[in-house]
Structure 1
Amino acid sequence: MSLPVDPLPPEELFRRHSPELLRFFTRQTRCSELAADLRQETWLRLQGRRTEEIGNVRAFLYRIARNLLIDHHRQQQTRPQSAPLDEALESELPDPERAIEDSRRLARLQLLMHELPEHLRQALLWNRLDGLTQREIGERLGVSESMAGRYILKALEYCQERMDDH
C-alpha cells in the first residue's frame, strides 16, 4: 500500500500549507519572527525535491518542521543563558574619578563656549548639536558656506587649545 502522491509541484503545495505551518511554528515558539524564519527554513529544505520522491507533502513538511524545532531547542539549551561573570560585573558607568574629571571638563568647555564670539559659538552649536550643514549655517548667519566652515573650525581650535592648556 503506497502513500498518496500530491499531483501539484512542491512550490504550490508549500504555498498551500504555508499559513498552517506558520501557525504551528508560532504556537510552538511563541515568537512570530522565529516562526517565520523556521517556515522559511522548511521551504529551503523542501526545494529541489520532486513530489514523487516525497509522497505526502503535508506530512513531509511537518516532519521537517518538527526536526527544525528540535534543532532550535537544542541550540537554545547549549547557548549560555547569561553573560559570563566578569562581563556582568563590568559597569557601563565610569568610575567616580572619571565622572568627576568629565564633569570638570564639561564645566570648562561651557565656560570656553561663552568666551567665544557669538557667531563662532552659534556656528559650532548649530553644527554639532543640531546637525546643520555649513551651507545651512552660512544661510542663517548671512555668510558663505566656506566662511561658516571657518567659523566652526575656529571655534573648535579655540576650545581645543584652551582645554589642552588647562
Structure 2
Amino acid sequence: MSRPPAPKKGWLAHYSELVGAWTRRADNRQDAEDATHDAILRVLENDTGALANPRAYLHRSVHNRLIDGHRQAKLIDVVPLHELDEDEHPLLIDPDAQARTAQLLAALKTALAELPVKCRQVFLWHRLEGYTQEEIAQKLGISVSMVEKYMIRAVRHLRERLHNHAPH
C-alpha cells in the first residue's frame, strides 16, 4: 500500500497555483513563471516567513511583477537587429566604419600569415571553429600543453600586431 504524497509546505504549496492562474491571465506561461520565480525569490531573500497570508502576498507580488513587465515593454520598443531596415542599422551610422573594418581585416590576415603553420591552425580551430584544446591536440598529434603554448603565442602576436586598431 502506498502512502499519499506529503503536503507541500511554504512557497512550494502555492507554486503551481500561481503559475497556472497567472498563465491564464497573462496568456504567456514564460512570463508567469518568471514573475512567480521573482516573487518567490524575493520572499526567500527577505526571509518573510512571518507573513500573515503568504498566498495573498505571492499573488500580489506576481501581479505587480507582470504589470511592471507590461509597462516596461510599452516604454521600450525592442526590435531585433535582423528585423531593422538597412538604413536603420546602428553599425552603418559611422561612415568610416567600413574602411576601418577593411583595414583591420587586412592587418589580421597579415598577422595570421606571419605565424607558424601549426600555431595559426591551433588559433583558428580554437577561436573560429570552437574546437577544444584536447580535440586540437588529438587532431595534430601533439600534447595539450603544446596547444596551450601555441595559443598563447598566437594571442600575443596578434595583440602586438593589432594594437593600433584597438579603440582609444
Q: TM-score of the superposition, structure 2-length normalised?
A: 0.51
Q: Counterpart in 2 of 1:127?
A: 126
CA distance in 1, matches of 2:142, 2:66: 64
CA distance in 2, matches of 1:18, 1:163: 54
Q: Counterpart in 2 of 1:96?
A: 95
Structure 2 regions of 5+ residues with no counterpart? 1-6, 44-48, 78-88
Q: Counterpart in 1 of 2:75?
A: 82
**1:29 paired residue among 26, 45, 48:** 26
Deviates more, 1:72-81 or 1:23-32: 72-81
Residue 151 (structure 1) shift? 1.9
Larger of the two Rg values belongs to structure: 1
Q: Compared with structure 1, are the counterparts of its residues 128 and 48 closer, same or farther at alpha carbon in structure 2 (3 Å cutoff)?
A: same
Give me the CA root mean square deviation.
Answer: 4.8
Q: Compared with structure 1, are the counterparts of its residues 106 and 28 closer, same or farther at alpha carbon in structure 2 (3 Å cutoff)?
A: same
Match of 2:75, SS? coil
Residue 104 (structure 1) shift? 1.1
Q: Compared with structure 1, are the counterparts of its residues 102 and 27 closer, same or farther at alpha carbon in structure 2 (3 Å cutoff)?
A: same
Residue 109 (structure 1) shift? 0.5
Structure 1 regions of 5+ residues with no counterpart? 1-8, 55-60, 85-90
Residue 128 (structure 1) shift? 1.3
Residue 115 (structure 1) shift? 3.2
Residue 22 (structure 1) shift? 6.0
Report sequence identity in percent: 28
Residue 124 (structure 1) shift? 0.9
Q: TM-score of the superposition, structure 1-length normalised?
A: 0.51
